[in-house]
Structure 1
Amino acid sequence: MPDGGPDFDAAVPPRGYRWWYVDALSDDGQFGLTVIAFIGSVFSPYYAWSGWADPYAHCAVNVALYGPRGGRWAMTERGGGSLRRSRNALIIGPSSLEWRNGELVVRINEVAAPIPRRIRGEFVITPHAVNREEFSLEAHDRHVWRPIAPMARASVRFDTPDIRWRGNAYFDTNAGDGPLQEAFSSWTWSRAALSDGAAVYYDVERRREPPLSLALRFDDAGAVKMLETPPVAPMAMTKWRLARRTRAENGAATVLRSFEDTPFYSRSLISSRFEGESVEWVHESLSLDRFANPIVRLMLPFRMPRRG
């Protein structure tokens, strides 16, 4: 797109996927959120059981809110009749993402699971700068990742639950032409807001190719610089005994807070040093070997209901 926007009407091939990911942390460190909008929901048991036939029949908006009094989590899968999109707007059921004048406006109207509680509100992501460069996670661009706004600000206003805050944010997109577990066995990813930019680490264990490690630094103008990959920093396992590791200049990192802890995926807030600066990172670990386990897939509908 001319303004570097997210291009919500990009084609998604059979067996493929595309998602748009946002996370944000409040300035006081008390609150956080993550929203992921999926076409071809890669973690959907329904999409897997269909043989990965039609990505448009498996769409979802995953929303997670974190706060000092607990959080709320929702991911209702919907069929193709609930999907509407254009270059600047993506609507899945009652929730939407809109790229408007260089900002991302997200409106959420979902019901949490397994305990049904409403999640209703909106937030605006204002990028400091927009990155236009894509990174291939596998040869021939079969799986690609684009950090659209590594540095951004979030203005959050939810009515249910009643929360208001501002903080730093991040926005990216991933796309591929086949199921994740066919290409990758696992990955770890982390992003941090710096005093003068942003940093991202991405480590991917690939099935068809050698491992991939990316260490990127973005300046205030959005320009990206490839860095030498620092040493691996192991961290404490999750309650589900999922391994967590990252990269850190002295090979040491600490888990400050666990946001999500599932059999195959974790999201955490971690601390390490980057170019001499003490930095807090949003971090995720993903085991696609665990996700492919039939027992794990049978557990998912309790948290991920499907409508239509």
Structure 2
Amino acid sequence: MNVATYGPGGRFTMTDRGRSALRQSKDSLQIGPSSMRWDGNTLVIQINELSAPPLISRLRGEIRLSPRAVTDRELALTPDGAHIWRPFSPVSDISVVLEAKGWQWDGHGYFDANFGTRALEEDFAVWTWGRYPSHGGSTCFYDAQRLDGSELAAGFHFTAEGRADAIALPPKRPLSRSLWAVKRETRGDPLSQPRQVMNMLDAPFYSRSMVRTVLDGQPCVGVHEALDLKRFRSPLIKPMLAIRVPRRAGWVF
């Protein structure tokens, strides 16, 4: 289970575990010492993980996410449907209570998932994704270059009531490269100048950040991701993952 916190003392944890660490039912998913389960209309996430270097420590606590509504939208990221994006609840309420000073808050949440039957690097060269609160709901953009030369370009606006509408795409706007020089862009009104307002996660092949852009004349700040799968395929990069994503076999409940 991947957990990341940001700001002073931020932690990153993602432990690769074997099948013995997995338990799943209709309403729950457990991976080693951490779990997710539905309690009525609330997703309860129990975290008990060890963060990766350089700040190694125990990360414990609970996150409760309550969707305002659940959408019926799915987006095939490849023509054959081998990769699917499922925005379950782009407008949610969230409560975070972690066992560290200052890591308790209530606010605006988001809940989606990606599914696939092939590795991402088998089908994609690069992609960017962004989710921005706007017009009483949220707006999401998905842009990708596939290895076969085709492109994905999609945009949706989600209301708090769960309605999902495809929208006319504003133009792509340049965004400064990440600290690892990952190329980034997002969408915004013509002549707008998107900019990063907070670095959240930086890797040789991946960037996550808070970005300010303008949509339909409305300034908004959202979460932006850029993924360079050409870099990820590099034999120099993959061994580095073992440091941030260690493997732990032999988990017993």
Shorter-chain TM-score bucket reads over 0.9
Give the aligned residue type for 1:95.
S
Give the aligned residue type for 1:89.
S
The offset of 1:244, in angstroms, is 1.1
Q: Which of residues 193, 203, 206 in structure 2 aligns to 1:262?
A: 203
Are residue 66 (structure 1) and residue 6 (structure 2) matched?
yes
Match of 2:37 in 1: 98
Q: Which of residues 284, 289, 293 in structure 1 aligns to 2:225?
A: 284
Match of 1:207 in 2: 147
- SS of 1:237's partner is coil
- SS of 2:150's partner is coil
Number of matched pairs: 247
The offset of 1:99, in angstroms, is 2.1
Match of 1:77 in 2: 16
Please give the root-mean-square deviation of Cα atoms over the aligned residues, in Å: 1.2
Match of 2:238 in 1: 297
The offset of 1:275, in angstroms, is 1.7
Q: Which of residues 152, 157, 167 in structure 1 aligns to 2:97?
A: 157
Alpha-carbon separation, structure 2, partners of 1:246 and 1:264: 17
Alpha-carbon separation, structure 2, partners of 1:158 and 1:220: 27
Percent identity for Structure 1 against Structure 2: 38
Unaligned runs of 5+ in 2: none
- SS of 1:299's partner is helix
Query: CA-to-partner distance for each residue in 1:140-195, whole Å, 9 max, x for gaps?
Result: 21111110010011111011455210111111111111110011111100102224
Match of 1:112 in 2: 51
Give the aligned residue type for 2:129.
W
Give the aligned residue type for 1:167.
G
Match of 1:43 in 2: none
Contact 1:120/1:161 (CA < 8 Å) preserved in 2? Answer: no
Unaligned runs of 5+ in 1: 1-60
Q: With structure 1 as the length reference, what TM-score do the two structures score?
A: 0.78
Alpha-carbon separation, structure 1, partners of 2:62 and 2:247: 23
Query: CA-to-partner distance for each residue in 1:222-264, whole Å, 9 max, x for gaps?
Result: 1111111111111111111111110112242111011011000
Alpha-carbon separation, structure 2, partners of 1:112 and 1:172: 23
Give the aligned residue type for 1:264.
F
Match of 1:241 in 2: 181
Q: With structure 2 as the length reference, what TM-score do the two structures score?
A: 0.94
Alpha-carbon separation, structure 2, partners of 1:142 and 1:161: 42
Any residues of structure 2 matched to 1:159-198 within 5 Å, and which? 159-160=99-100, 163-198=103-138
Alpha-carbon separation, structure 2, partners of 1:238 and 1:212: 22
